[in-house]
Amino acid sequence: MGGKKSIKVYLPTKGTGSLPFEGVAMPVAATLIKVNFLPNVLPNNIDQDGEFKLSIQVAGPTVALHGVVKQIVNDRQLVLEVTDAYEHPQKREHFRIDLDLPVRYWRHVEDVDGRPEIFQSPSERVNLSGGGIFFVAEFNPVVGQQLGLELSIPGPPRTVVRCLGRVVRSTPRGEKLWGVALHFTDIEDEDQEEVISYCFAEQRRQLRTKVDVVGR
């Protein structure tokens, strides 16, 4: 990882989920990272049994690191132990998989008073990747239009991912239904990693199911 680097790390907390914090990281061993934070930033409910997540640039590509909080040194310093590392989702965003997933969506308009009208996709069958989604919509959006999206990722624990995407394709899918291809344009790194992880877990599950069926 080299010398000191400014990072954003999502730390597990008790009762409030995973929260983002900015700090300065420095490797101290092969799998250990020391992170310093500003005074009065770290919460007092850090969960050492939970998982941290962060992304960092290492010799070119960006790498996602997952692991546990090994030691709370003081109110400004943590030692993190890395248990998993892989290339950032940008390198995998074209991996796509068909799966069943509840989708809610809405027209995104800047600076509008009130709540937008939220739609539930009539079909849970989607094609998903870390870079976008294809789903069935009840209105025909314009190519280039921004849509808000809410995905309910199965758990445990169940995770709700909210993001924005740009419509890149819309085609008729029967009476008053359209198939919409959306490219994610505004999604948190942690949420994108959640989508990527779920896609790969679902791929492994589907492959195991096929093996079981063939083996009968």
Residue with the bigger pLDDT between 187 and 158: it is 187
Mean pLDDT of 135-143: 95
Comparing 14-28, 101-115, 133-147, 180-194, which segment has the lowest mean pLDDT? 101-115
Mean pLDDT of 78-101: 76
- SS3 sequence, 146-209? EEEEEEEECCCCCEEEEEEEEEEEEEECCCCCEEEEEEEEECCHHHHHHHHHHHHHHHHHHHHH
Res 147: pLDDT? 96
Q: What is the pLDDT of residues 3-26, one digit of tens each?
A: 678 888 999 999 888 888 999 999
Residue with the bigger pLDDT between 169 and 197: it is 169
Res 74: pLDDT? 94
Cα–Cα–Cα angle for 190, 195, 201, rounded to 5 degrees: 120
Res 186: pLDDT? 93
Res 109: pLDDT? 80
Q: What is the pLDDT of residues 177-197, one digit of tens each?
A: 999 999 999 998 888 888 888
Amino acid at 212: D
Res 77: pLDDT? 95
Comparing C-alpha atoms, which of 89, 84, 117 is closest to residue 190?
89
